[in-house]
């Protein structure tokens, strides 16, 4: 990838992005639907892409098609680690057998308002007086039910044993001042445990500040001559 002087274009018009020959990398920070609607056109135009809404990639066919398109156009797709840590260890562990991966996410109820699963199950988040488990299931189910809340489950699934084997538990805690993600992985390598307590992003209560920082870190890493990898 050619690295020229920084040139940043902020726009909602994909045609404008595609038309600009000096745009080499597109950062998506919108939604899973946006990824599915626009990713192919961006890659087809020969542009690299950084995807924040990684939940879109748990659609196995979409993931495979996107990978083929990136290979065909000789471009790359970058996936930031988001609001969690330890993905480097999970990726290394996946070289051998991983027997279980679990993610427990604890958020303030306000962060979960409007989620399809909450609406479907008619869960009254405002009535909760103590930490309450509102969801237990696979990462694929979690991403479908909470598309704006648990993209970290997608990253974890892609790094490890997939969206159907990665288990997710979501806890709504009215006393939570931070968003917490706990990961436990067991396999041939041993056991990995991480816990992150994130400050909520000041402009978007559904995501963590660390998620935005991880995107910036990924962009910086692309240009660095020495890179630390799993």
172: closest CA among 99, 214, 113?
113
> Which tokens belong to 206?
């559904």
- Cβ neighbours of residue 6 under 8 Å, at least 6 residues apart? none
> Which tokens belong to 10?
């902020």
Active site residues: 181
What stretches of the chain adopt beta strand conformation (E)? 25-28, 48-51, 77-78, 98-107, 132-138, 166-172, 179-187, 190-198, 200-201, 204-208
> Which tokens belong to 118?
């909450």
Other residues' Cβ atoms within 10 Å of the Cβ of residue 52: 24
Each as own residue / partner, the long-range contacts of residues 200-206 (CB below 8 Å, 24 or more positions apart, any chain) are 200/108, 200/111, 205/108, 205/110, 205/111, 206/111, 206/148, 206/149
85: closest CA among 151, 25, 152?
152
Q: Are 192 and 90 in contact (CB under 8 A)?
A: yes
């Amino acid at each position: 990838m050619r690295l020229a002087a920084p040139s940043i274009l902020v726009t909602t018009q994909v045609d404008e992005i595609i038309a600009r020959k000096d745009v080499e990398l597109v950062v998506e920070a919108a939604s899973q639907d946006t990824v599915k609607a626009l990713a192919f056109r961006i890659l087809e135009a020969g542009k690299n892409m950084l995807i924040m809404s990684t939940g879109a990639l748990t659609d196995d066919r979409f993931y495979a098609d996107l990978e083929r398109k990136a290979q065909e156009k000789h471009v790359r797709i970058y996936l930031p680690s988001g609001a969690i840590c330890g993905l480097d260890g999970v990726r290394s562990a996946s070289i051998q057998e991983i027997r279980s991966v679990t993610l427990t996410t604890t958020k303030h109820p306000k962060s979960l308002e409007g989620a399809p699963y909450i609406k479907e199950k008619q869960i009254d988040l405002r009535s909760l007086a103590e930490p309450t488990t509102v969801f237990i299931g696979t990462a694929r189910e979690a991403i479908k039910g909470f598309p704006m809340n648990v993209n970290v489950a997608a990253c974890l699934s892609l790094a490890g044993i997939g969206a159907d084997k990665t288990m997710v538990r979501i806890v709504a805690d009215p006393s939570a001042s931070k968003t917490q993600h706990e990961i436990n992985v067991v396999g041939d390598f041993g056991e990995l445990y991480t816990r992150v307590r994130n400050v909520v992003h000041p402009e978007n209560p559904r995501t963590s500040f660390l998620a935005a920082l991880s995107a910036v870190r990924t962009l910086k890493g692309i240009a660095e001559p020495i890179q630390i990898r799993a």
